[in-house]
A and B are shown apart, each in its own frame.
Chain A
């Protein structure tokens, strides 16, 4: 037993025992805390400091109950003592009541009764429990304790020390859950306060959770502060699609504006936590009121935090540390930071038109391309932010109606789709329960923050971690062994890990020698040797660097899959609903329902009337085809901005500037849309449409609609149906429900996903697909920490309601499936690499440095640049290099250096970093470098024609 250990949630497999609770005999489980056992038995014991996901501390004393002991009944904190067989507990005696009333009165002694101006008022556990338990009037007539307030303890969180009741929920979250003990108590007696360390701010990516679990109004978040009263909020349960983890959220709004997101505890997914980007990026949906013509002075005043951001600033993406550095763009075309009117480019300008005119223009352009070059002349890039239903609609339009297979929801920043869907899949829970975890990815705290929290908990426990990453990550310190990956070396390192000594030797042929430490490799090999055949091993497979080809990582994944047949894989692709998009067939060679094009062609030809004849192009190939002489001449962008999203900016620029027809379906302005779209079709975005999404595990959960989309924006699926109509075809659906009905009978992995299943109480945590493949659903939907989620009982279960007597009843479904023939098998197994013999990385030379580019949580993506609270958090861009390599240049930290590649060059401040292997340099992905290089600056350097990008560092001036 440890003070910081604790097993807060009931272990259902633990042995049963009985206790006497207020005279009743109640069944509890060994190791269960008394407060939890009582709650399961229907007796709620009041509490403030207890949080089921954190170790108990027994500090607030609100949960004092009487427990019989050999020395008579004593008052004990129910949150701290485990049940014991035969334990006799009283929760309602006069003594208990007096103790609890006394604690409440004490808590209120110094607590300012400023509830009318406190954000927590109306949803405050202290307020509520005072009503339920406390004395009616205060006997405290003294002067209350005073502190300066509020004080900003981070960019997003303000602290009111007078309201604080010292429950240690925030400090425990920071140290136990996030692993960042940046806040702690200072002072003594009633002057105890939560404080940051003098030289370190509270800079956590998870700071918003401390606000959510604060039982009073001591911690408030700047985006929500003073914007609403809780009783005016309307809320819906949904899934966060800022990244692909699939955290459950309560989305709250007031007057058709989003006001707040709260994490809902989903046991297999997010444990109630959210990252700050997921929590606060709703600001980009609201798209604050914009001054259509920002003054020169406003743009010149770079020191001032300008909120809300102007459209010009949003569009320029030249945002860093609260300084807007972008050049002014023409801004009159945007409202609310959102594109809300259909537009057609006329005389070089995008001008607002009717939907009819826009659709006709889009259809004409697409038809022209198809007539001239066949179906494969049309390509689609994007779709990872669509709902599953909309993604299905677009897959049907592209592959069934237009007939092209050149469709890719990944933007050169992903992995081969067949590999992702074919590898044996792990769940997050499986990864956390694995004895041995291998990560082949970038920094998960930057890319999939809540997955990081879950894995961190596992790795601080009994899970061993072998980490393969190009630069140190937030998990490195916890890893059993860390194997640094220089660009292009992942397959070799994977082979070395799996026992191939030739690979170890080959790694040493690098001019700087091997980046792998022999001792670490031996430790890793030994850990792996303990798992014969990789049994029980889980591999988290992402993109360690965006400056090397995804084929390199794919090859490494194949090495691991072949060497570890017992291992399962958790794919760590980042984009919101990228897994839903892949599942719906928005990738070359795929059809909806995790089916390959070849095996599924017959089935989908039966279902849709047509299916592509040949495998199409991925994003890189589409762009290169557009830039070249032949091939793709019309492009549909589904929420994609190739100039920033695609790692090779020159390739994207060449493709888009080649004069081909471009249709953009988008909710936000972007550089690509601005400069190159011929037709803009405005769509609704997150929180504006119901439906479902699919997370990294293949778990489907519902999306709630909270807002009505602004202006003339339509849901994506509706744009697909109307565009199909404009093309003279019929998509055969007229609602999102129709699409849900159709996809659950045509997309094999989604068979059986009926409204009844989706709306069952067991769907609280989503449905792992294919149905029957995964975990037993948790029927209990009670919030485990009512303090963190006030009013969750009223969260609407929104979405299409289950319909009785539906035309698509089970019998009809079976009939429909039968008419289509025999369903194709789901993708399984490890496809060979495209060329069949792996990937060829050119050898490193003595002079060039290999470029590494990893993601940061706060980047130039539209969810950040559209959120005034988050834009100041985008880090300044630097080039990080090993001090050895900087020395060779004669440069030190802070010096401006020029980074030059075959594609272009960037001037950046240098930063010496031991974590970067010799022979490599690291530049963050999708972070602007100032007016010269707005948006994804490093994309100026990355050369997607080669598996790796070599750069040289040069002194400046």
Chain B
């Protein structure tokens, strides 16, 4: 395994300081994919994306092409782009939004053309002030350039794009909560079935919801062909992906890497990537796909960065956020901190998540602060089981949406992998890392 010389698909332009401007975008081949797509039939564009085997980059990893073709049985009304990236340690969309908004927009335009929708919404995390400014500016410039609006580039195809900022709730990154929020309602996830966006989406109309990074891949796929994209990576995991590397590494940051051909070891240790663990410490554990995902120990470090490979090992590549925890990390505190996030961000709609997250957080806090009991470990696991029966991956759930089964991941990983560390907290009456 090695770091491949795969082309930079979504980060090619980021070396320029003015990468977010229309001028730079046009000077670097911008909107050529759109021009090409407009000469093709919508079906041919969709077919190209299907050929590319582009998996959604939001976390669930559903094939984008299949999502589109599944929907094409009924006319689709809206395209909604999910830019509500707000999970701790996940910051890859943030980069694309601030640094290359036109690329996202071009992806939206091509996708909209393939889906033959005339209205698209980009839902942006409310805290992305600069991102909002740049994306809105990009939309305005693209309108002026004739790339958005009526009769795009004289093709007869029209699309309006609305950028809508969120109001600070993590749950609105869940696609159905996002749709509720976009409709002006409280961001409560909808129940699936039957509220799959493809069937009952925005304003109850069939809707495609795609992630920002997914959209950013589309122009390259159309320009270079789906087959060229599919040739990268391996198995179901085609192309490249952005990995947001965080935690105890020398070079945290966002890296675009060819999928499967690269391993977690490459990502964490390669001098041009993570550059190894900080402070001469050793790797204790890492989270392979965002704080919703079960943790991996050092034994999994040679796993390739592939969706199925990580899935089969019991976790997920998820949002592409990799959090590295070194030997100085208190696993109880780490799990508590993540649980606290979910307790705060549970939308409060359904009981197991609303009440369970708060309860789990209180217990974790007690253990970390020296008031733990040995039986708390079984209690934690049982409460986790009441939120996510079996506490396994892929998870089952008693909740409406997947925020629920995300809560047990860190606690169950912590207890299963570091049970002794929990017991030391209980027996010593405090945190040994303090």
Residue from A2, A74, A102, A187 whose CB has the most chain B CB atoms within 10 Å:
A102
Contact stretch, chosen from A139-147, A297-305, A337-345, A784-792:
A139-147
**A103 at the A/B interface (Cβ < 8 Å)?**
yes
Q: Which residues of A contact B389 (CB under 8 A)?
A: 75, 95, 98-99
> Is the Cβ of A188 less than 8 Å from the Cβ of B193?
no
Q: Which residues of B contact A102 (CB under 8 A)?
A: 352, 383, 385-387, 398
Report the minimal beta-carbon distance from B401 to chain A, rounded to whole angstroms: 11
Report the minimal beta-carbon distance from B248 to chain A, rounded to whole angstroms: 29
Contact stretch, chosen from B153-161, B300-308, B359-367:
B359-367
**A106 at the A/B interface (Cβ < 8 Å)?**
yes
Q: Which residues of A contact B200 (CB under 8 A)?
A: 1-3
Residue from A1, A58, A74, A189 whose CB has the most chain B CB atoms within 10 Å:
A189
Report the minimal beta-carbon distance from B206 to chain A, rounded to whole angstroms: 12
**A166 at the A/B interface (Cβ < 8 Å)?**
yes
**B24 at the A/B interface (Cβ < 8 Å)?**
no
**B204 at the A/B interface (Cβ < 8 Å)?**
yes
> Is the Cβ of A188 less than 8 Å from the Cβ of B355?
no
**A110 at the A/B interface (Cβ < 8 Å)?**
yes
Cα A145 to Cα B346 in complex, Å, equals 15
Cα A392 to Cα B417 in complex, Å, equals 84
- With contacts A188-B348, A190-B343 known, is A99 near B398, CB below 8 A? yes
Contact with B along A166-187 (1 / 0, CB 8 A): 1000000000000000001101
**B419 at the A/B interface (Cβ < 8 Å)?**
no
Residue from A58, A77, A80, A109 whose CB has the most chain B CB atoms within 10 Å:
A109
Q: Which residues of A contact B278 (CB under 8 A)?
A: none
Q: Which residues of B contact A187 (CB under 8 A)?
A: 348
**A228 at the A/B interface (Cβ < 8 Å)?**
no
Report the minimal beta-carbon distance from A161 to chain B, rounded to whole angstroms: 12
- With contacts A75-B389, A106-B386 known, is A192 near B348, CB below 8 A? yes
**B356 at the A/B interface (Cβ < 8 Å)?**
yes
**A165 at the A/B interface (Cβ < 8 Å)?**
yes
> Is the Cβ of B344 less than 8 Å from the Cβ of A142?
no
Residue of B nearest to A58 (CB): B191
Interface residues of A in 106-140 (CB under 8 A from B): 106-107, 109-110, 139-140
Interface residues of B in 202-221 (CB under 8 A from A): 204
Q: Which residues of B contact A2 (CB under 8 A)?
A: 200, 204
**A191 at the A/B interface (Cβ < 8 Å)?**
yes
Cα A80 to Cα B190 in complex, Å, equals 11
Residue of A nearest to B195 (CB): A3
Q: Which residues of A contact B171 (CB under 8 A)?
A: 188
Report the minimal beta-carbon distance from B15 to chain A, rounded to whole angstroms: 40
Tell me which of A61, A98, A101, A190 contacts B357 (CB under 8 A). Answer: A190
> Is the Cβ of A106 less than 8 Å from the Cβ of B191?
no
**A808 at the A/B interface (Cβ < 8 Å)?**
no
Q: Which residues of B contact A143 (CB under 8 A)?
A: 362
- Counting chain B residues whose Cβ lies within 8 A of the other chain, the interface size class is 35 or more
> Is the Cβ of B362 less than 8 Å from the Cβ of A142?
yes
> Is the Cβ of A191 less than 8 Å from the Cβ of B348?
yes
> Is the Cβ of B396 less than 8 Å from the Cβ of A74?
yes
Q: Which residues of A contact B253 (CB under 8 A)?
A: none
Report the minimal beta-carbon distance from A350 to chain B, rounded to whole angstroms: 60
**B399 at the A/B interface (Cβ < 8 Å)?**
yes
Q: Which residues of B contact A99 (CB under 8 A)?
A: 386, 389, 398
> Is the Cβ of B398 less than 8 Å from the Cβ of A145?
no
Q: Which residues of B contact A106 (CB under 8 A)?
A: 351-352, 354-356, 359, 386
**B119 at the A/B interface (Cβ < 8 Å)?**
no
> Is the Cβ of A103 less than 8 Å from the Cβ of B357?
no
Report the minimal beta-carbon distance from B188 to chain A, rounded to whole angstroms: 8
Report the minimal beta-carbon distance from A76 to chain B, rounded to whole angstroms: 9
**A873 at the A/B interface (Cβ < 8 Å)?**
no
Cα A61 to Cα B343 in complex, Å, equals 18
Report the minimal beta-carbon distance from B388 to chain A, rounded to whole angstroms: 11
**B345 at the A/B interface (Cβ < 8 Å)?**
yes
Residue of B nearest to A3 (CB): B190
> Is the Cβ of B359 less than 8 Å from the Cβ of A109?
yes
Report the minimal beta-carbon distance from A110 to chain B, rounded to whole angstroms: 6
Residue of A nearest to B169 (CB): A188
Interface residues of A in 50-97 (CB under 8 A from B): 58-62, 64, 74-75, 77, 80-81, 95
Cα A102 to Cα B359 in complex, Å, equals 12
Tell me which of A59, A95, A105, A142 contacts B349 (CB under 8 A). Answer: A59
**B350 at the A/B interface (Cβ < 8 Å)?**
yes
> Is the Cβ of A58 less than 8 Å from the Cβ of B400?
yes
Report the minimal beta-carbon distance from B431 to chain A, rounded to whole angstroms: 19
Cα A579 to Cα B385 in complex, Å, equals 60
Report the minimal beta-carbon distance from A187 to chain B, rounded to whole angstroms: 7
Q: Which residues of B contact A166 (CB under 8 A)?
A: 348-349, 351, 354
**B370 at the A/B interface (Cβ < 8 Å)?**
no
- With contacts A3-B190, A61-B398, A77-B191 known, is A103 near B351, CB below 8 A? yes
> Is the Cβ of B186 less than 8 Å from the Cβ of A145?
no
> Is the Cβ of B352 less than 8 Å from the Cβ of A61?
yes
> Is the Cβ of B193 less than 8 Å from the Cβ of A192?
no
Cα A101 to Cα B200 in complex, Å, equals 32
Residue from A110, A142, A143, A188 whose CB has the most chain B CB atoms within 10 Å:
A188
**B280 at the A/B interface (Cβ < 8 Å)?**
no
> Is the Cβ of B359 less than 8 Å from the Cβ of A189?
no
Contact with B along A146-165 (1 / 0, CB 8 A): 00000000000000000001
> Is the Cβ of A64 less than 8 Å from the Cβ of B398?
yes
Tell me which of B346, B387, B397 contacts A190 (CB under 8 A). Answer: B346
Residue from B171, B346, B352 whose CB has the most chain A CB atoms within 10 Å:
B352
Residue from A61, A105, A142 whose CB has the most chain B CB atoms within 10 Å:
A61
Q: Which residues of B contact A81 (CB under 8 A)?
A: 193
Residue of A nearest to B373 (CB): A141
- With contacts A1-B200, A2-B204, A189-B348 known, is A109 near B355, CB below 8 A? yes
Report the minimal beta-carbon distance from A671 to chain B, rounded to whole angstroms: 50
- With contacts A81-B193, A139-B379 known, is A184 near B186, CB below 8 A? yes
Residue of A nearest to B404 (CB): A61
> Is the Cβ of B366 less than 8 Å from the Cβ of A142?
yes
Q: Which residues of A contact B343 (CB under 8 A)?
A: 189-190
Cα A190 to Cα B344 in complex, Å, equals 8
> Is the Cβ of A75 less than 8 Å from the Cβ of B400?
no
- With contacts A98-B386, A189-B345 known, is A145 near B190, CB below 8 A? no
Report the minimal beta-carbon distance from A171 to chain B, rounded to whole angstroms: 10
> Is the Cβ of A185 less than 8 Å from the Cβ of B191?
no
Q: Which residues of B contact A60 (CB under 8 A)?
A: 350-351
Report the minimal beta-carbon distance from A57 to chain B, rounded to whole angstroms: 8
Contact with A along B138-152 (1 / 0, CB 8 A): 000000000000000
Residue of B nearest to A80 (CB): B191
Cα A128 to Cα B351 in complex, Å, equals 18
Cα A854 to Cα B366 in complex, Å, equals 63
**B358 at the A/B interface (Cβ < 8 Å)?**
yes
Residue of A nearest to B386 (CB): A102
Residue from B169, B355, B363, B399 whose CB has the most chain A CB atoms within 10 Å:
B355
Q: Which residues of A contact B363 (CB under 8 A)?
A: 142
Q: Which residues of A contact B346 (CB under 8 A)?
A: 188-190
Interface residues of B in 156-183 (CB under 8 A from A): 169, 171
8 new A-B contacts, CB < 8 A, other than A2-B200, A139-B379, A189-B354, are A64-B398, A75-B396, A81-B193, A102-B385, A102-B398, A103-B386, A188-B171, A188-B344
A residues whose Cβ falls under 8 Å from a Cβ of B: 1-3, 58-62, 64, 74-75, 77, 80-81, 95, 98-99, 101-103, 105-107, 109-110, 139-140, 142-143, 145, 165-166, 184-185, 187-192
Q: Across the A-B interface, give the 3 residue pairs with the lowest CB-CB distance, nearest first.
A: A102-B386, A192-B348, A106-B355
Q: Write 22 A-B pairs (CB below 8 A) sorted by A numbering.
A: A58-B350, A58-B400, A59-B349, A59-B400, A61-B352, A98-B385, A98-B386, A101-B386, A102-B383, A102-B398, A103-B352, A107-B355, A109-B359, A110-B355, A142-B366, A145-B358, A184-B186, A188-B344, A189-B346, A189-B348, A189-B354, A189-B357
B residues whose Cβ falls under 8 Å from a Cβ of A: 169, 171, 186, 190-191, 193-195, 200, 204, 343-352, 354-359, 362-363, 366, 379, 383, 385-387, 389, 396-400
